[in-house]
């Protein structure tokens, strides 16, 4: 019975937080037609519009990713965690629509996106906007995972890091257009080219993966964190640019990718190109993430205290344990602070147990 209750603890811990996040996800769905020119029911049910489906799907996935940031770092205090989810949810409902507006006015200003998606049912434009929305959701998720010094600093940090991420997305969009040997906007607007739009959307989503990783766990030291974001963003642009240059030399050596995208409008090639950008970004984010830089801690040098408690060759104890360690760990009275291996164990914790340090577990 006790084992069953113990197994249910993670579910009971997660359930109220999931419910709160799901409510905000439904709120994001509700406000979408309020802040965009699209009628969800009409576009999906009546018009059978695949371009709108790409936009709306990207938006909902973006909202889910952003809310994952609101769920980041739950501490076990139900009220405090629900407040954190509420703050993250409010930020998601505010920043995600604003991001879409900025993308429309900045990245895709060359043509009226809403008309291309709704009236022309331009799947290429839908893929670009959906990919940009997904990238924005990842940026917001990263911004919500930081550690801020107070509520005022929290609001400032979220806004500053979100704005930095949006700027990187706009820059990455301009870089993609320079990398391609054709006019990206013309192919999407004039030719309704879904393959080009899919490749462009994948590039933006890949950049979102990199920016999200650069923002994870950011502190309130804004200038330092902005420097980190800039360096990671530059590295992301370099890696994705190299990936774009190597696609038809390494991944598809017998395929003229530009010809397939522009002339044949080959969605299969567009999908491979988009997934390649995202895959390269995932590997880069994992390689650069701070948690991948850890190295095993060097064993502590023996001290006089450790020799005294470890026991000499005449002390007998359990196989594999020194007699002193057995006596200290198993028979010490609560509150004792006998030195074991030169370290003091906190009350209620045996030496050698893992102790969290800045979100990571280390072994003393």
Q: Give the model confidence (pLDDT) of 167-179 as tens digits.
A: 999 999 888 988 8
CA distance 48 to 56: 13
Alpha-carbon span 222 to 233, nearest angstrom: 16
d(CA 317, CA 325): 9
Residues near 100 by Cβ (< 8 Å), separated by ≥ 6?
35, 36, 59, 129, 132, 133, 136
Asked if residue 187 is part of any domain, the answer here is yes
Q: Is residue 194 part of a domain?
A: yes
**Is residue 156 situated within a structural domain?**
yes
Give the pLDDT score at 40.
92
- Asked whether residue 102 is assigned to any structural domain, the reply reads yes
Q: Is residue 182 part of a domain?
A: yes
Please give the model's pTM, rounded to 2 decimal places: 0.75
If one compares 107 and 132, the residue with the highest pLDDT of the two is 132
Both tokens of 270, joined, read 């567009």
Q: 52 falls in which pLDDT band (50, 70, 90)?
A: very high
pLDDT of 300 above 50: no
Q: How far is CA 161 from the centre of its chain?
A: 13
pLDDT band at 307 (very low <50, low <70, confident <90, very high): very low
Number of domains the chain contains: 1
Residues 204, 172 contacting (CB under 8 angstroms): yes
Judge residue 105's burial from the number of C-beta atoms within 10 Å of its C-beta, 0-12 exposed, 13-18 middle, 19 or more buried: exposed
Range of the domain at 156: 9-290
The half-sphere exposure of 148 on its side-chain side, counting CA atoms within 13 A, is: 20
The per-residue pLDDT for 4 is: 62
Range from 148-152, 309-313, 347-351 carrying the lowest mean pLDDT = 347-351
Listed residue (230, 182, 188) closest to 210, CA to CA? 230
Asked whether residue 301 carries a pLDDT value surpassing 70, the answer given is no
CB 205 within 8 A of CB 273: no
Alpha-carbon gap, residue 226 to 143, rounded angstroms:
12
C-alpha torsion angle, residues 39, 45, 48, 53 (rounded to 10): 60
- DSSP code string of 154-199: HHHHHHHHHHHHHHHHHHHHHHHHHHSSS-HHHHHHTT--HHHHHH
Residue 271 makes CB contacts below 8 A (sequence gap 6+) with 198
Residue 34 lies in a domain: yes
Q: What is the pLDDT of residues 260-295, one digit of tens each?
A: 999 999 999 999 999 999 999 999 999 877 554 344
Question: Does residue 143 lie within any of the structural domains?
Answer: yes
Domain-embedded: residue 282:
yes
Q: Which candidate, 32, 39, 59, 45, places its Cα nearest to that of 134?
A: 59
């Amino acid at each position: 019975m006790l084992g069953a209750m113990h197994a249910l603890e993670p579910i009971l811990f997660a359930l109220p937080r999931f419910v709160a996040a799901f409510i905000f996800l439904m709120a994001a769905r509700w406000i979408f037609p309020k802040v965009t020119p699209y009628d969800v029911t009409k576009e999906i049910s009546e018009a059978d519009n695949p371009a709108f489906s790409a936009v709306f799907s990207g938006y909902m996935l973006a909202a889910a990713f952003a809310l994952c940031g609101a769920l980041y770092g739950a501490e076990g205090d139900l009220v405090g965690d629900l407040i954190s989810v509420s703050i993250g949810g409010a930020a998601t409902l505010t920043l995600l629509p604003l991001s879409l507006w900025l993308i429309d006015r900045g990245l895709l200003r060359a043509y009226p996106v809403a008309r291309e998606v709704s009236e022309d049912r331009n799947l290429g434009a839908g893929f670009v906007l959906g990919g940009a929305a997904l990238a924005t959701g990842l940026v917001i998720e990263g911004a919500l995972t930081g550690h801020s010094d107070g509520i005022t600093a929290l609001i400032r940090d979220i806004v500053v890091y979100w704005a930095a991420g949006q700027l990187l997305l706009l820059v990455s969009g301009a870089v993609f257009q320079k990398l391609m040997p054709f006019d990206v906007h013309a192919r999407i607007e004039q030719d309704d080219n879904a393959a080009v739009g899919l490749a462009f959307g994948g590039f933006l989503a890949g950049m979102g993966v990199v920016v999200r990783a650069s923002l994870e766990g950011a502190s309130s030291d804004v200038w330092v964190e902005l420097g980190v974001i800039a360096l990671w963003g530059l590295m992301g642009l370099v890696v994705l640019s190299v990936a774009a240059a190597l696609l038809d030399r390494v991944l598809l050596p017998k395929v003229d990718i530009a010809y397939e995208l522009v002339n044949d409008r080959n969605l299969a090639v567009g999908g491979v190109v988009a997934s390649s950008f995202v895959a390269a970004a995932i590997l880069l984010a994992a390689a650069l993430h701070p948690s991948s830089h850890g190295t095993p801690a060097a064993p502590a040098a023996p001290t006089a205290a450790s020799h005294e408690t470890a026991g000499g060759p005449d002390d007998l104890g359990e196989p594999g344990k020194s007699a002193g360690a057995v006596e200290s760990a198993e028979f010490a009275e609560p509150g004792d602070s006998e030195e074991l291996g030169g370290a003091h164990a906190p009350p209620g914790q045996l030496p050698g147990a893992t102790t969290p340090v800045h979100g990571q577990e280390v072994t003393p």
